[in-house]
Amino acid sequence: MSPNRPSTHPAQQGAPTQQGASPPQQRAPRGSARDKLIAAAHTTVRKQGYAATTVDQICAAAGVTKGAFFHHFASKEALAVAAAEAWTERARPMFEMPPHTRARDPLDRLIGHIDFRFAMLDGPVEEFTCFVGTMVQEAFATSEAIRAACEASIAAYCDALAPDIAAAMEVYGAPEGVTALGLARHIQAVLQGSFILAKTTNDPAIARESVTHLKRYVRMLFAPPGPA
């Protein structure tokens, strides 16, 4: 659950409000502040965590003022909830775009998805880790609204993954006690855990190692049980 691609709107401008030059420098188009604040929350919270991120920092990263912030969001917590919902949307293309989603065999689609997640584990840690996973760690006991929003986002991911797993189970069978949603949740757990390990070492390699184990597990689950 962590594509760095905010397919977001055409209007996009990372830089702070300063414009150097001559002609009729226009400011950012009206109506763009909300999206920019959410995007800024994603990047800032992924790097620093939720509590350590101040509203001023988010505003600065978004290139808007505090007035705009509290025009769009009633509180910092409200932004967090909105950002969690936006995160779910941002993850959706992962289940539609990549080539493996067109594979005929459901197990190929599932393994393809894991490979896809594996390939994301590269570059700076804060660019592939999960916004909602980071946030729920801090807020699960102190903000019921944030916790619920994060739960919904994770659940949406698992729900999106489950159909392919269910189909694979029908084709290849699976051991007693394995369910599609349960395995989807386990995949999510391994990803989240691999993010934490990557943070401890500040290096994605340790995360790839774990996802490799995950891939092997899925392969073994759906392998024909008997002799070769």
Q: Which of residues 104-143 bind DNA (CB under 7 A)?
A: none
CB count in 10 Å sphere of residue 158: 20
Contact partner at residue 188 from DNA, a copy of itself, none, CB < 5 to 8 Å by partner kind: a copy of itself
Listed in sequence order, the residues at least 6 apart from 196 whose beta carbon sits closer than 8 Å to its beta carbon are none
DSSP annotation of 99: G
Contact partner at residue 208 from a copy of itself, DNA, none, CB < 5 to 8 Å by partner kind: none
Is there binding between residue 193 and a copy of itself (CB under 8 A)?
yes
Is there binding between residue 216 and a copy of itself (CB under 8 A)?
yes
Question: What would the two tokens of residue 8 be?
Answer: 């977001």
H-helix or E-strand containing 47?
helix 33-48
Is there binding between residue 80 and DNA (CB under 7 A)?
no
Q: Which residues of 17-38 are buried (b: 16+ CB within 10 A; e: fewer)?
A: eeeeeeeeeeebeeebbbbbbb
Question: Coil, strand, or helix at residue 74?
Answer: coil
Q: How far apart are CA 168 and CA 132, in angstroms?
A: 28
Output the smallest distance, CB 7 to a copy of itself, in A.
Answer: 25
Return the number of the residue (55 or 181) whose C-beta is nearest DNA: 55
**# residues near DNA by CB under 7 A:** 28
Is there binding between residue 202 and DNA (CB under 7 A)?
no
Question: What would the two tokens of residue 58 be?
Answer: 């988010």
Q: How far apart are CA 45 and CA 198, in angstroms?
A: 16
Q: Which of 11, 51, 119, 171 binds a copy of itself (CB under 8 A)?
A: 51
Binding flags for DNA, 8-47, as an x/- string (CB under 7 A): xx-------x---------xxxxxxxx-------------
Query: Which stretches of the chain bind a copy of itself, using CB under 8 A?
Result: 47-52, 125-126, 132-134, 136-142, 147, 150-151, 154, 175, 177-178, 182-183, 185-186, 188-194, 196-197, 199-202, 206-207, 209-210, 212-214, 216-217, 220-221, 226-228
